Amino acid sequence: MVRLWPHGRLRLIAALAASCALSLALLAARLVYSGRSTYSFLAWNLALAAIPLLLALGAEPLARRRRAFLPPVVVLWLVFLPNAPYLVTDFVHLRPDPPVPLWFDVLLFAAFAWAGLLLGFVSLHLLRRLAGEWLGGAATWTLTVLVLAASSLAIYLGRFAEWNSWDLFVRPGAVVHAIVAPPSPAQLGGVLAGFTVFLVVAYAIVEALIGSDRER
């Protein structure tokens, strides 16, 4: 079993922790300065974005010792993965909110979006390495694109159709109906295509950076 290199794993986790800490520190500074809880939902969204990483970290030991438990973990990972890139869409809430300067809020949203993308991409990297032990490189990249396309679809469902991850379990029929009969097919197609391309390109860059770091 090929494992993620130990020092690389520690560096990745440390970088993710630093990114999340920076985001939360900026939010805390805003709350203290303004005296209002505006944008506090970003902390909750970041917590949801961390779930896929926790599941991915737990997948490797399961693959070595208890493979029967691996499929449910992967399914849960697929369900919660869109919460990570979903943070990018929180920019729709951005608006002038004195006394906090707009540039600070732009920085705040960018920090949370970046942290969310990193959490999702690192979790995808971990599971992609596991899949690579049974599949070839072309197959794993095909699965990667499909996973990111599914995440883009989930982003549409969350941001524009206002569904949550757990609705797949409690109201699956309604979620499927929102996909097959959307109010605006053009909007669905645009969001799906745009976010899929964005996520694939962004992930490929992160994967290349991780790979180049391993070769040092």
Residue 209 pLDDT > 80: yes
Q: Which residues, 6+ apart, have CB-to-CB distance to 42 below 8 Å?
A: 23, 27, 87, 90, 108, 109, 112
pLDDT value at residue 3: 47
Helix (H) or strand (E) segment spanning residue 160: none
Whose structure tokens read 């979790």? 123
CA dist., res. 175 & res. 186, Å (int): 18
Q: What share of the chain is helix, strand, coil (3-state, %, to 5)?
A: 80, 0, 15
Residue-wise pLDDT tens digits, 55-94: 998 887 776 676 666 788 888 999 999 999 999 999 999 9
Residue-wise pLDDT tens digits, 6-53: 566 788 889 999 999 999 999 999 999 999 999 999 999 999 999 999
